[in-house]
Structure 1
Amino acid sequence: MLSKQGLCSRSEATKWIAAGRVSVDGRIVRDPEFPIVQGRHRIEIDGNAADAAPRLYLMLNKPRGLVTTAQDERGRDTVYRCLDGARLHDAPLPWLAPVGRLDKASEGLLLFCNDPQWAARITDPDSGPDKTYHVQIDAIPDAAQLAALHAGVSVDGELLRAKSARLLRSGEKNAWLEIVLDEGRNRQIRRLLAAFDLNVLRLIRVAIGTLSLGDLAKGQWRALDEQDLQRLR
């Protein structure tokens, strides 16, 4: 319930409960699975009412070299470095979780929110919005290779494919592709291209649905407005 209210992550809520910080109707509860009926039970954290946090949705232009997690067991810098000390309307940002992820070497549009239900809709492989990427590779692909990326290939028993793949521009030894995905699999683009002996030099997510990265600077973020949210529906 605490995570659904946008107050913290599920793992953090479990820690608070185990530490005896959470009470229900005045009684300390140490069971994370304790049944709660919203509107009927009074939940408190450290004696203060656990009111739902105002919903907040934002976009970040993720720099390369950051991992998409709250805490990294290897001590690597995370995407939260870009939000350290951030304020909105003169108030600190509430707890926010990444919506999906970009791997350490990838860049571009990354969403955050404190609305788990909304995040689940965005990341749903069947009904979520398409994701658009600009990808620099170490070769000049021909029409047959682009068609093959769309047709897909089995990698370790998993069918990987692009909804679409087209050439944006090319130089003497490398090229930029626009690749659109309608599903999200682990390192999908890198694994798909590697299956055709194409190596990724840069990978930038430039849009989710019709919400584009635009001119948002590297490492910068902004809150989404209602028009932005409409673009994601």
Structure 2
Amino acid sequence: MGKSLGVSLHRALSKLGLCSRTQAQVLIAEGRVRVNGKVVRDVSLRVDLDRDRIVVDDKPVVAERKVYLMLNKPRGLVTTRDDPQQRDTVYTCLEGLDLPFVSPVGRLDKASEGLLLMTNDTHFANRLMDPASHLPKTYHVQVGTVPDATMLEALHAGVTVDGETLTANSIALLRSGGRTAWLEIVLDEGRNRHIRRLLAAHGIEVKRLIRIAIGRLPLGDLAKGTARHLTAEELALLAD
């Protein structure tokens, strides 16, 4: 085992699809993980996934099949595996499915809805989340006002909040009625609560926020709270 190569042991267990990094740390601390026949309790130990033999509870850990899912995330779920506040997570939508460990690709906050990708392919996930990819994400947002052209122009120009410049690729009025309106907002970056903070800086209340597309991949008619595997054609849309 080379100390300067590979990945840390807890990350290796996650990359191999066994569990989350947090769960891996527990397994390692409990002495349930052996590398090349020796019990290892050091989570930072570097291992080579191609050469080192990793065993958990006397069972060899092998790379799981690659899985790519799309989920229509309901409002009220957090996008995490282990929530210290014991809130319901998006993993409740995967119960009963025969899946290896998968992780969300990016995040949607608890109050947001819509398209969320999940996978055990870390290279795929990292490529999609890399800011250099400029992968556009499209949202439909219900707001508690009907913005005029001047307000839409101001929103598109962006604003600085807590030292961060928040902008959007495009903002358009979809429809309005009474005191509310629906906007279509396209981002090519995903700062924490990006849209909510951008709109709040202009005194605009967000009533609903739904991600309807990632790149050229649409959410489509997938029922809320359900997940399905991406097709080869859909994966190709994300590869373009």
1:60 matched to 2:66 = no
Q: Is the 8 A contact 2:20 2:81 kept in 1?
A: no
How far residue 147 of structure 1 moved from its aligned partner, in angstroms, is 1.7
Q: Distance in 2 between matches of 1:135 and 1:100?
A: 19
**Residue in 1 aligned with 2:226?**
220
Q: Which moved more, 1:133-142 or 1:68-77?
A: 68-77
Q: 1:46 to 1:128 in 2, by over 3 A?
A: farther
Q: Which moved more, 1:2-11 or 1:154-163?
A: 2-11
Q: Distance in 1 between matches of 2:22 and 2:91?
A: 17
Among 170, 177, 182, which residue is 1:176 paired with?
182
Structure 1 counterpart of 2:94, which letter? L
How far residue 157 of structure 1 moved from its aligned partner, in angstroms, is 1.5
Structure 2 unmatched runs, 5+: 1-11
**Residue in 1 aligned with 2:112?**
106
Among 199, 213, 223, which residue is 2:205 paired with?
199
Q: Distance in 2 between matches of 1:117 and 1:10?
A: 16
Q: Deviations over 1:156-181 (max 9, x none)?
A: 22111111100111112111100001
Q: How does 1:1-233 map to 2 (within 5 A)?
A: 1-86=12-97, 92-233=98-239
Q: Which moved more, 1:138-147 or 1:101-110?
A: 138-147
Helix, strand or coil: the match of 1:228?
helix
How far residue 128 of structure 1 moved from its aligned partner, in angstroms, is 4.7
Sequence identity, in percent? 60
Structure 1 counterpart of 2:47, which letter? I
Q: Is the 8 A contact 1:121 1:128 kept in 2?
A: no
Q: Distance in 2 between matches of 1:107 and 1:229?
A: 21
Q: Distance in 1 between matches of 2:50 and 2:131?
A: 32
Structure 1 counterpart of 2:153, which letter? A
How far residue 72 of structure 1 moved from its aligned partner, in angstroms, is 2.1
Helix, strand or coil: the match of 1:146?
helix
How far residue 56 of structure 1 moved from its aligned partner, in angstroms, is 0.3
What is the TM-score with the length of structure 2 in the denominator? 0.91
How far residue 114 of structure 1 moved from its aligned partner, in angstroms, is 0.9
Q: Distance in 1 between matches of 2:83 and 2:52?
A: 35
Q: Distance in 2 between matches of 1:109 and 1:145?
A: 27
Q: Is the 8 A contact 1:3 1:116 kept in 2?
A: no
Higher helix proportion (structure 1 or 2)? 2
Q: Distance in 2 between matches of 1:50 and 1:74?
A: 30
Structure 2 counterpart of 1:198, which letter? I
Structure 2 counterpart of 1:157, which letter? G
Q: Deviations over 1:128-165 (max 9, x none)?
A: 52110000111111122112222101112211111110
Q: 1:43 to 1:128 in 2, by over 3 A?
A: farther
Number of residue pairs aligned between Structure 1 and Structure 2: 228
Q: Distance in 2 between matches of 1:180 and 1:100?
A: 16
Helix, strand or coil: the match of 1:3?
helix
Q: Distance in 1 between matches of 2:31 and 2:137?
A: 42
Structure 2 counterpart of 1:116, which letter? T
